[in-house]
């Protein structure tokens, strides 16, 4: 059996090791594939669209009928949009290639899917998309709440922001700040490394984490 393992993280600083181990172990233990039968496709960038080199290589091999199965750690690694998730699974299974999600406790998806399995996939995909939107909404609400506090108009702007007539405005590097802080929270990046990456002091990273609502964390 020829298996394609797809792994993805959001930034170049994040570690792929957990996904690499998860997908490789699943391919060997559950699908009976040998190491030489496993091809790994890697991406290190945003999951909000499918314009990714590893993803494109994976889909090219699927469409060339080079793979019997695709293994992904969880659905958020493949796509964070329900539309992209559904389209990708349909595209893969149309070439008689199975899709397996290791962590989501879903049955494998094949060309003729069980309607209940398809419903479960759509529900999980919808939840992942909703979760991403809630994070964005929480960020906006956190900023609004802070700005209503008179004391907040004094002192320097938080990391990733600047002040415009007393109002907080996201800088062009705001999303880099959010990504770095999220990795620190998950112990995927040290405060020192985050400070180096964002060109600030470690204490600034600590203060930003204390204001996690500003970053949707």
**Do 102 and 162 fall within a single domain?**
no
**Do 60 and 104 fall within a single domain?**
yes
Mean pLDDT lowest among 16-20, 41-45, 128-132:
128-132
Domain coverage including residue 179 = 149-215
Cα–Cα distance measured from residue 20 to residue 16, given in angstroms and rounded to the nearest whole number: 6
Neighbours of 200 (CB within 10 A): 17
Does 16 map to a domain?
yes
Question: What does pLDDT average to over the chain?
Answer: 80
Helices (H) and strands (E) counted in the chain, each on its own, are 8, 6
Does residue 211 have a pLDDT over 90? no
- pLDDT tens digits for range 137-158: 655 555 555 555 554 555 678 8
- SS3 string, 50-109, reads CCCHHHHHHHHHHHCCCCCEEEECCHHHHCCCHHHHHHHHHHHHCCCCEEEECCCCCCCE
pLDDT at 192: 92
How would you label 149-169 residue by residue, b for 16+ Cβ within 10 Å and e otherwise?
eeebeeeeebbbbeeeeeebe
58: CATH: 3.40.50.1390
Does 134 map to a domain?
no
Asked if 62 and 99 touch (Cβ cutoff 8 Å), the reply is: no
Active site residues: 10
């Amino acid at each position: 059996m020829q298996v394609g393992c797809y792994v993805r993280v959001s930034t170049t600083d994040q570690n792929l090791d957990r996904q690499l181990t998860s997908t490789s172990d699943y391919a060997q233990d559950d699908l009976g594939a040998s190491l030489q039968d496993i091809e790994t496709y890697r991406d290190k960038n945003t999951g909000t669209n499918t314009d990714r080199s590893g993803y494109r290589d994976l889909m090219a091999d699927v469409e060339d009928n080079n793979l019997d199965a695709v293994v992904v750690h969880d659905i958020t690694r493949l796509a964070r949009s329900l539309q992209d998730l559904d389209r990708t699974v349909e595209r893969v299974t149309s070439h008689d290639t199975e899709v397996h999600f290791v962590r989501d406790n879903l049955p494998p998806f094949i060309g003729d899917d069980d309607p209940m399995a398809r419903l479960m996939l759509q529900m999980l995909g919808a939840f992942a998309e909703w979760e991403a939107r809630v994070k964005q909404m929480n960020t906006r609400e956190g900023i609004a709440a802070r700005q209503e506090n008179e004391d907040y108009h004094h002192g320097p702007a938080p990391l990733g922001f600047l002040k415009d007539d007393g109002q907080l405005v996201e800088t062009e590097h705001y999303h880099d700040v959010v990504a770095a802080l999220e990795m620190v929270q998950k112990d995927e990046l040290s405060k020192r490394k985050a400070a180096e990456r964002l060109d600030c002091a470690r204490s600034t990273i600590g203060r930003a984490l204390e204001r996690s609502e500003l970053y949707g964390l």
